[in-house]
């Protein structure tokens, strides 16, 4: 979710600089799920006291960094290559991804609440 929040900020900055001379739009590098899964677990993990317990090893997304957009579709005579439509599409996708993450997080919390309540 942090990556999505940071991406939204970068896209907002792109839109704000849509009239700035020689401005090149930025975007964050994608967090590829396979690379996140392939990382080693932290050294200090919680100890499992029962075979039925869930693992507590978190997957860290790293520190996303803004980079210049690779696909520049058009450049104005002033050297600015921000395409507002493209930035708005990216913002919409980011917003939808964020809402999906919120829903998944809520479902995850609901599962914990249900497990803590126990059988009815």
Mean pLDDT of 36-50: 63
Determine whether 14 is exposed, middle or buried from the number of CB atoms within 10 Å of its CB (0-12, 13-18, 19+).
Answer: buried
Contacts of 112-120 with CB under 8 Å at 24 or more apart are: none
Residue with the bigger pLDDT between 63 and 75: it is: 75
Q: Is the pLDDT of residue 83 over 60?
A: yes
Res 73: pLDDT: 65
The residues near 84 (Cβ < 8 Å, ≥ 6 apart) are: 15, 18
Res 16: pLDDT: 94
Mean pLDDT of 93-114: 94
Tokens of 102: 């919120």
51 falls in which pLDDT band (50, 70, 90)? confident
Res 60: pLDDT: 47
Q: Among 36-40, 86-90, 103-107, 115-119, which stretch is predicted with the lowest mean pLDDT?
A: 36-40
User: Taking the alpha carbons of 40, 42, 43, 47 in that order, is the dihedral positive or negative?
Assistant: negative
Residue with the bigger pLDDT between 33 and 112: it is: 112
Under a CB-based contact definition with an 8 Å cutoff, are residues 88 and 48 in contact?
A: no
Element (H, E) at 28: strand 26-28
Average per-residue pLDDT for the chain = 80
Q: What is the largest CA-CA distance in the chain?
A: 68
Under a CB-based contact definition with an 8 Å cutoff, are residues 36 and 13 in contact?
A: no
Q: Is the pLDDT of residue 61 over 60?
A: no
Res 43: pLDDT: 58
């Amino acid at each position: 979710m942090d990556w999505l929040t940071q991406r939204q900020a970068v896209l907002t900055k792109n839109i704000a600089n849509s009239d700035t001379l020689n401005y090149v739009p930025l975007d964050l590098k994608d967090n590829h799920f396979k690379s996140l899964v392939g990382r080693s677990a932290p050294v200090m993990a919680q100890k499992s006291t029962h075979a039925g317990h869930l693992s507590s090893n978190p997957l860290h997304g790293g520190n996303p960094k803004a980079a210049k957009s690779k696909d520049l579709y058009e450049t104005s005579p002033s050297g600015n290559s921000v395409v507002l439509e493209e930035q708005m599409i990216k913002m919409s996708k980011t917003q939808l991804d964020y809402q999906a993450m919120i829903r998944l997080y809520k479902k995850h919390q609901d599962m914990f609440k249900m497990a803590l309540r126990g059988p009815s």
